[in-house]
Amino acid sequence: MQAQKRRCNTDETPGSLASYGVLMRFLAISLFAAGCLSAAPLPHPRLFFPPAALAPLKARLAADSLAKQLDASAIRQAEACLTERAVRYEIADGKRLLPESRRAIRAVLLTAYAWRMTGDARFFERCVGELDAACAFEDWHPSHFLDVAEMTTAVAIGYDWLYPQLSPAQRQRYENALIGNGLAAVAGRKDAWWQGPTNNWSQVCSGGMMLAADALSEVAPALAKETLAHTRRLTSSCERFYQPEGSFPEGPGYWHYGTTYHVLAMALMERDAALTLDPVWKMTGNFLLQATGPSGMPFNFADANPGQAESSPALTWLASRTRDPLAISAARDLLTRRYAEKRPPNDRFLPLTLLWLPAAVPAPVAALHASFQGEQALACFRSDWSANALWLGIKGGTPAASHGHMDCGSFVLDWAGSRWFHDLGSDDYNLPGYFGGQRFAYFRLQNLSHNTLVIDGKLQTPKAKPCPLTPIQAHGASATTTIDLTDAYRGQCEQATRKVDFTASPPQITLTDHLLAPGGPVRWQAVTDAKVSITGALATLEKDGHRLVLTCANPALVWQIADATAPGSAEKANPNKQILSITAPAAAELTLAVHIAAE
């Protein structure tokens, strides 16, 4: 379904100590906001790239080859924008203007950056064309407010970066749109994501509105002051998503989305007064590092799709701001790898990724294993930090989390540079009830498609309490953790645990599931794209000249293989994926152990 309209606006929107720490930072930011809101606004441009930053950036390009590559990518992509169409009021899926809002961010940031770096008037005119097109809309689709937040981001940055060269009429046109379509559209809203921290919506909408309010501080001082005070409080409260140890409940994929907007807000706040960052901001960099396997693919739990790790300004800002050598090395290594693989970064915030790129520093070797407590607790193990290492990511958590799946106890596995056991990822967000009562009617969201257990053919508990895991215990080349999955299988057994025993040399893993009084047969399963051969309780997987050998400790059981086909024709297909499984009959006490040897 596609609808297009161009509606013109004739005037041309944890624990007690941790809780105490969050409260103190919240009060500090409130006091900071009260002070800085009364100060005279800085001259334009003031959002992230003030005039004083221009000369140092140009000097850095001559000294830092990675920065020079990012600059060249940004200029090259800005050149491409010159022949691309401007944003249109298109709601292609019938629900969201969001792709157009993101298109506007990309065009505005790239062309505005290119104009400021080169002085080429073509980039200025192209950016003005994008702003004019966006500001001709009567609204920015407030029924799906992410659309408003991202379009507001585009127009606020473009207005600010081009401000000295804009005519009075252009300034007024963009100011009117930012007020009418942005700030006025959010004023008085009672949505949960605007009233308090719920999920990435709170971060994105708060960040976008903060940019507009800051850009318009002189033009609409009362509205700007009210909005800035609210968004600073809301941004501060969203810090709880990362507590207590840096993991993000919506997974690494949504980490970039929510954290980028969180960082935009923090960068603005710090421009006016120094911020004291909670240690969790250093921890979350470690989360992203550990949750990415040697294949270059993150553990894409929740509504994230499989693929190579992405870069973002959240990575570079946090690395620069925390001065953590591991985070700095990880951010730069990721970008360098993308250039080496001829996949240069092309996200819509690319100029900000460059502006916040940290200088290279020597970095220590990161820990081989890490666990992260929280709503979606997870643990990661690796044999070494080479590209061919054995790596396992496994989670507890709950389907009830934002974007959650029935993936308690599920894992992904890398070996010899490839992913062998997969998370299939999200399905179509426009499926009926995908974010409502039918969510767990879809195959990709069920435990039936994840690398975990199925008891008596049933689904995991949709509103399970978060399944915790024990901190990793490491002894020489071995490490272990145990996940309590009991609440995920509430009503299906009396107790369920999954233990991981990981050994680096020789590279091997044993997963041991222990259940009390399961209500039916228990199926162990995992999704793979490897070639599979089966001999009773032994399954051999082959890919690119390497093997994984899976052995069930019960020799009477037999492995089976089936296509990972979704039952509904409207659901995404899962080509080249199969589900390897082995099933044990119910027993008063059942232990199901699978040994995985990497060869």
The per-residue pLDDT for range 25-69, each reduced to its tens digit, is 443 444 444 444 556 789 999 999 999 999 999 999 999 999 999
Q: What is the largest CA-CA distance in the chain?
A: 81
Asked if 555 and 411 sit in the same domain, the reply is yes
Asked if 184 and 228 sit in the same domain, the reply is yes
Give the phi and the psi of residue 70 in degrees, each rounded to 5. Answer: -65, -40
Asked if 331 and 384 sit in the same domain, the reply is no
- Per-residue buried b or exposed e for 206-227, using 16+ beta carbons within 10 Å of the residue's own CB: bbbbbbbbbbbbebbeebbbeb
* 83 strand-pairing partners: none
| CATH number for 522 | 2.70.98.70
**Domain assignment of residue 209, yes or no:** yes
Q: What per-residue confidence (pLDDT) applies to 19?
A: 38
Domain-terminating residue out of 293, 320, 355: 355
**Domain assignment of residue 518, yes or no:** yes
Both tokens of residue 302? Answer: 């929740």
Asked if 504 and 539 sit in the same domain, the reply is yes
Asked if 266 and 415 sit in the same domain, the reply is no
Which positions ≥6 away from 37 have C-beta within 8 Å? 225, 228, 229
Asked if 321 and 411 sit in the same domain, the reply is no
Q: What per-residue confidence (pLDDT) applies to 273?
A: 87
Asked if 226 and 290 sit in the same domain, the reply is yes
- CA-based nearest residue to 444, from 379, 393, 399, 401: 399
**Domain assignment of residue 361, yes or no:** no
Residue that has been written with the tokens 């193990």 in this structure: 381
How many other β-carbons are positioned within 10 Å of the β-carbon of residue 195? 12
**Domain assignment of residue 11, yes or no:** no
CA separation, residue 550 to residues 33, 391, 509 (Å): 57, 16, 9
Domain count across the chain: 2
Asked if 286 and 376 sit in the same domain, the reply is no
The per-residue pLDDT for range 343-359, each reduced to its tens digit, is 999 999 999 999 999 99
| Pairing status of strand 418-421 against strand 560-563 | unpaired
Strand order of the β-sheet with 546-552 is 473-475, 478-484, 495-503, 508-516, 589-598, 546-552, 538-543, 531-535
Domain-terminating residue out of 355, 383, 403: 355
**Domain assignment of residue 215, yes or no:** yes
Asked if 397 and 318 sit in the same domain, the reply is no
| CATH number for 174 | 1.50.10.100
DSSP, collapsed to helix, strand or coil, labels residue 220 as coil
**Domain assignment of residue 549, yes or no:** yes
Please give the average pLDDT of every successive group of 10 residues along the chain, which has 599 residues.
36 34 41 52 96 97 98 98 98 96 98 98 98 98 98 98 98 98 95 96 98 97 96 97 97 96 97 92 97 98 95 97 97 97 95 98 95 98 98 98 98 98 98 97 98 98 98 96 98 98 98 98 98 97 98 97 95 97 98 98
**Domain assignment of residue 337, yes or no:** yes
Quote the pTM value.
0.92
Domain-terminating residue out of 320, 355, 390: 355
**Domain assignment of residue 52, yes or no:** yes
Q: What per-residue confidence (pLDDT) applies to 38?
A: 53
Asked if 487 and 565 sit in the same domain, the reply is yes
Asked if 116 and 158 sit in the same domain, the reply is yes
Asked if 166 and 246 sit in the same domain, the reply is yes
Give the phi and the psi of residue 525 in degrees, each rounded to 5. Answer: -150, 160
Structural domain containing residue 107: 16-355
Distance in angstroms (rounded) separating the CA atoms of residues 482 and 471: 8
